[in-house]
Structures are given as structure tokens and as C-alpha cells.
Amino acid sequence: MDPRSCTVCKRHPGYFRREYEGSVLCKSCLRDSLERKVRRTISHWDMLAPDDHVAVAVSGGKDSLTLLMILHKLEKRFPRTRITAVTVDEGIAGYREEAVDIATKYCKDLGIEHEVVSFEELFGYGLDDFLKRKQERMTACSYCGVFRRKAINLAAKKVGANKIATAHNLDDIVQTYLLNLFQGDADRFVRFSPVLKDPRGLFLTRVKPLCDIPEREIVMYGYAEDLQFQTASCPYMTEALRNELRSVLNKLELAHPGVTFSAYRAMLRLRTLAEPNLAPSRLQPCKSCGEPTPFEICEACKMQGINSVIPEISA
């Protein structure tokens, strides 16, 4: 066998080398392998049920378009399952417009319902305008993350979804895990789960079907599927510690293939060990907007500096 050919089908030329397995995959076998891994993850964590209505958070980047593609293929097997793409326009001039256009075209091509909501529509102003008004010395990423999570929740409720699927990949999750460790956030450190649900129903269940997929494989899957995704980085991307962790992890993975998976498995093990000692969730409805929060007023409402209900999106 030609050493450059696919080690799975042994027929087609190699396209991607999976170092942690020592295998070489052609485009077709990479596609099949990645989709199979996602199906196993969904089954293992009991993420989705046949009659779910899933709101898929789609930004226009490689991860979210890959997730939407795979869930769309799964949807064909389960006719009672419904997926709707939701995109948040944060109001970042010269950046977000392209992403929204990409997401809109992609959903149209696949015949998937698509809901776009904006910070301006929900909170009164876009991120660019908000950053000009802000008083506190928080990073743009901190503000955006809070508002974006809330916007996705509101959009998912608007379309009638009962679950939210986000495209966090293996690298994202391990980076966040280490960030929580280095920032001393023990609660988030041990509460991680690929499925976040609240038995009281205060928030929609969130699932991460790509939690077992390395970022590099998602990139190669996207090229294999000829996905046209946004490649430009957000102009506000200033999380220095996360960027440094990303660089360190990439170097470690290159030198020691599989180390990212090892860190992820350690996360899950620590969560299992800590679970019996975790205090009950302190989530309660925000007194201003009704969204779940561990405080009387949620972070988004505090950042807006309001004490009145945020207008609902019209259906």
C-alpha cells in the first residue's frame, strides 16, 4: 500500500494525518469518521431526542457551519427532529455583516430555518456603540460574551426551541478549563459538562456535540465539504491569556499527540469526583428580565445599567 494513501479505505490518496492515532485519512473517510464521532458523542451524553427542536448557534465560522451541516444530516434520519439556525449580530462594523451573509446563504442552500437577532434589537445598541458608552474597564470579549449568551437564549425561545446546540470544540473546551483553573474559578472548573440542563427548567438545555473534535479536524472537514466560512478574526479579540493558552496547547499537541484529549478526560474525571460535593445551583430568574442568573440582577442587565424589563422580540 502506498504510505501516502488512506489507512482506512486503502483506496484514496491521504488528505489528513491524525497524529494521535497514527492514521492517514482521505477526504471521504475523514468526513465519515468525524460525523460518526459526533453521533457517538450525542448518543453517549443523551444530548438529543427524536422530537427535539434544536436552536443551533451559527456565527458563520468553521465550527458552527460544520455543526449545522452534521446536525442537518442527522435531521434527515429523524423526521420529527427540527433544527433552526440562530445568528447573533453583535453590531461590529466591517466584520459581522460578512458572517451574517455567510450564515444566511448557507441556511438557504440547506433549506434550514434561520433567525437573526441583533444586540441593537435586544439591548438598544450594538457592541461598537456600547463600548463607546461603557464605564467599567472590562474587555470587549467580557461584554460580548454576556450579551451573546443572553441573545442566543432569547432567540432560541423565540423560535420555540427546547435545546440549544453550540459549536464548542475540544480545543475551546480545554482552553476554557485551563482559564478557569488559572483564574481560580473553582465552581466553573468542576461544573463543566457537554450537556447543561436545569431540572427546574430555568434555562434551555445546552449541548456541545463537537466537544470530542479537535479544531484542526473541523478545519479540514470544512475544506473537504467545501464550506465557505468566515476566516477573519474579530477585531475585538483581546483575551491575551486564552490566546497564550491556545498557543501553548497547540505546541504541546504537536510535540505530544493526544495530550489535549488527555486533559479533556481529566476534566470529566474531576467533574465526576467533585459532583457529590457540589452545592445546589443558585440560579434564579433575574428580577429585571427573567433570564436565569445566580444573582438578583443578571450580568447583562447590570452592564446595561437598567432596572426595567428588556423588550421582548416580536414573534
Q: What is the pLDDT of residue 307?
A: 33
- The answer as to whether 285 is a domain residue is yes
- The strand pairing partners of 13, in sequence order, are 5
Among 40-54, 133-147, 225-239, the range of highest mean pLDDT: 40-54
- The answer as to whether 234 is a domain residue is yes
Higher pLDDT, 79 or 116: 116
For residues 31-53, average pLDDT: 96
Q: Which amino acid is at 8?
A: V
CA dihedral 105, 103, 156, 48 (to 10 degrees): 90
* Joined grid coordinates for residue 176: 476554557
Phi–psi pair at 304, nearest 5 degrees: -75, -20
| Separation between Cα atoms, residue 164 and residue 203, nearest integer Å | 10
Tell me which residue range forms the domain holding 209: 34-304
Instruction: Express each pLDDT in 253-297 by its tens digit.
Output: 999 999 999 999 999 998 888 877 777 778 889 998 888 888 899
- The answer as to whether 239 is a domain residue is yes
- The answer as to whether 213 is a domain residue is yes
Higher pLDDT, 116 or 77: 116
Q: What is the pLDDT of residue 2?
A: 53
- The answer as to whether 18 is a domain residue is no
Listed residue (11, 8, 10) closest to 29, CA to CA = 8
Q: What CATH number corresponds to the domain at position 272? A: 3.40.50.620
* Joined grid coordinates for residue 41: 458523542
Confidence of residue 109 (pLDDT cuts 50, 70, 90): very high
- The answer as to whether 133 is a domain residue is yes
Q: What is the pLDDT of residue 239?
A: 67
Number of compact structural domains in the chain: 1
Looking at the predicted structure, is the pLDDT value of residue 99 above 90? yes
- The answer as to whether 211 is a domain residue is yes
pTM score, two decimals? 0.90
Using DSSP's 3-state secondary structure scheme, residue 62 falls into helix
- The answer as to whether 178 is a domain residue is yes
Higher pLDDT, 15 or 184: 15
For residues 66-86, average pLDDT: 93
Instruction: Express each pLDDT in 285-301 by its tens digit.
Output: 999 888 888 889 999 99
**Mean pLDDT of the residues in the chain:** 89
